[in-house]
A and B are shown apart, each in its own frame.
Chain A
Amino acid sequence: MTMKRDQALEALAEHYTDGIVVPVFQSAFDWMQIRPHALNYLCTGAMGQASSHALGVALACPDEQVLVLDGDGSLLMNLGCLVTTAEQSPKNLWHFVSNNGIYEVNGEFPVPGKNVDFAGLAAAAGFKRTYSFSDIDTFRRELPEVLGGEGPVFVSMDVEIGKVYPRDYVTIHSADSRKTFRNALRERLGS
């Protein structure tokens, strides 16, 4: 069984309406349409780095929940982040990875090791709470529990390409996106 990524992100958006999200590549393109919000941190620059950006935000804003919407190819470029995050153990960080076995925006070529157990890697790195989902109904049902409690939490989602939203690279790299996020974060923090 598997689930469509857009279904998974729509379910997530229903339960997580107003917090910080750091999405990457196709998840970013989808997320900014599914849940447009000033606290979407879209500018992660170099592939693989979203989880580390999110860790920086989470450590600097310990009272704000922070979600990463990573990809399997991206996570494979920065596996050390799992150890770094587990070591820091921020209670406010949730790391989701869309696991579809391909570099989706880079020609859909398969990633190495397409059967990697990412939740297992996260657990081995020291994440105390890890989940794997491959069925949309189960994912929907368990989301309140997944998003509750304390982080760091790691969630592997086995997904297929669903509805694909436009690849708006201009927005995810734009100065306006950074300014919007910075201002929204300052407002949220009251600074």
Chain B
Amino acid sequence: MGNTDSLAGVSIINGFKSAGVKTIVAVPDIVTCDHMLWPISRDEELKLVMVCKEDEGVSVCAGMSYADHRAVLLIQHTGFLDSVNAIRAMGMDYQLPIVMAVGLQGMEVDKLPSESKHNGILILEPILQAMNISYSLLLQDSDAAGIFESIDQAYKITRPHVFLIVRSPV
């Protein structure tokens, strides 16, 4: 029997919806594919825009933000790292509300990102801190309760926000 507070994909998706998100822009990620991306692809309340590369998605979300259209970029941490320049430009320099949900591929099940043995994961929080980008850790289902406020705030103050999906959603 699983942990009753296991992070559920549906809780995250509902958090997005509660914050007025209409579009998910995505590149598939092994952490989030089964319980987020596939359900989103079947969800009639959300438009799914598949992009070929993550930095495209940063820019698609940027363009949408000018029309006050709320979107979330769903990617893997490797794609986040690959897109740092676009995130720097749109998120830091232009102060646009780029909201990202980032799966941590290879994340150890009993550790925090700051304890990971994988360099790609270990460096995420220091990079976000250096870029002055706000972020939240999603470890358990109760963490999804904070999604609404984080997204709503990102759009109200027009700043980026990153959700690090630390555990594989069920």
| Distance in angstroms between the alpha carbons of A55 and B50 in the assembled complex | 12
Whether A49 and B49, one on each chain, are in contact in the complex, defined by CB atoms closer than 8 angstroms, is no
Partner pick for B52 among A50, A84, A175, A191, CB 8 A cutoff: A84
List, in ascending order, chain B residues with CB within 8 A of A48's CB. 55
Is the CB of B63 closer than 8 A to any CB of chain A?
yes
Is the CB of A102 closer than 8 A to any CB of chain B?
no
List, in ascending order, chain B residues with CB within 8 A of A58's CB. 63
| Distance in angstroms between the alpha carbons of A56 and B47 in the assembled complex | 12
Whether B68 and A191, one on each chain, are in contact in the complex, defined by CB atoms closer than 8 angstroms, is yes
Is the CB of B30 closer than 8 A to any CB of chain A?
no
List, in ascending order, chain B residues with CB within 8 A of A5's CB. none
| Distance in angstroms between the alpha carbons of A50 and B59 in the assembled complex | 8
| Distance in angstroms between the alpha carbons of A189 and B86 in the assembled complex | 27
Is the CB of B61 closer than 8 A to any CB of chain A?
yes
Whether B63 and A60, one on each chain, are in contact in the complex, defined by CB atoms closer than 8 angstroms, is yes
A57 and B64 in contact, given A84-B50, A84-B56 (Cβ under 8 angstroms): yes
List, in ascending order, chain A residues with CB within 8 A of B57's CB. 52
Whether B50 and A54, one on each chain, are in contact in the complex, defined by CB atoms closer than 8 angstroms, is no
Whether B93 and A53, one on each chain, are in contact in the complex, defined by CB atoms closer than 8 angstroms, is no
Whether A56 and B89, one on each chain, are in contact in the complex, defined by CB atoms closer than 8 angstroms, is no
Whether B93 and A45, one on each chain, are in contact in the complex, defined by CB atoms closer than 8 angstroms, is yes
Interface size class of B (residues with CB under 8 A): 20 to 34
Q: Mark B57-90, 1 if CB is under 8 A from A, else 0.
A: 1111111111111010000000000000110111
Whether A173 and B93, one on each chain, are in contact in the complex, defined by CB atoms closer than 8 angstroms, is yes
Whether A56 and B59, one on each chain, are in contact in the complex, defined by CB atoms closer than 8 angstroms, is yes
List A residues 25-66 near B (Cβ within 8 Å). Answer: 41, 43-46, 48-50, 52-61
| Distance in angstroms between the alpha carbons of A49 and B98 in the assembled complex | 15
Query: How many residues belonging to A are interface residues under a CB distance threshold of 8 Å?
Result: 35
| Distance in angstroms between the alpha carbons of A22 and B59 in the assembled complex | 12
Is the CB of B53 closer than 8 A to any CB of chain A?
yes
A46 and B86 in contact, given A52-B51, A80-B53 (Cβ under 8 angstroms): yes
Is the CB of B105 closer than 8 A to any CB of chain A?
no
Min C-beta distance of B22 to chain A, whole Å: 9
Min C-beta distance of B169 to chain A, whole Å: 25
List, in ascending order, chain B residues with CB within 8 A of A60's CB. 23, 63-64, 66-67, 69
Is the CB of A186 closer than 8 A to any CB of chain B?
yes
A52 and B63 in contact, given A81-B52, A84-B51 (Cβ under 8 angstroms): yes
A45 and B94 in contact, given A57-B67, A80-B51 (Cβ under 8 angstroms): yes
| Distance in angstroms between the alpha carbons of A78 and B51 in the assembled complex | 11
**Chain A: which residue is nearest B60 at the CB level?**
A56
Min C-beta distance of B36 to chain A, whole Å: 20
Min C-beta distance of A136 to chain B, whole Å: 30
Query: Would you give 23 A-B contacts (Cβ < 8 Å), ordered by A?
Result: A45-B62, A45-B86, A45-B94, A46-B55, A46-B85, A46-B86, A46-B89, A49-B86, A52-B51, A52-B57, A53-B59, A56-B59, A56-B63, A58-B63, A59-B60, A59-B64, A78-B56, A80-B56, A81-B56, A84-B60, A178-B94, A185-B67, A189-B67
A46-B85, A60-B23, A78-B53 known, 5 other contacts, Cβ within 8 Å: A52-B57, A53-B62, A60-B64, A60-B69, A83-B52
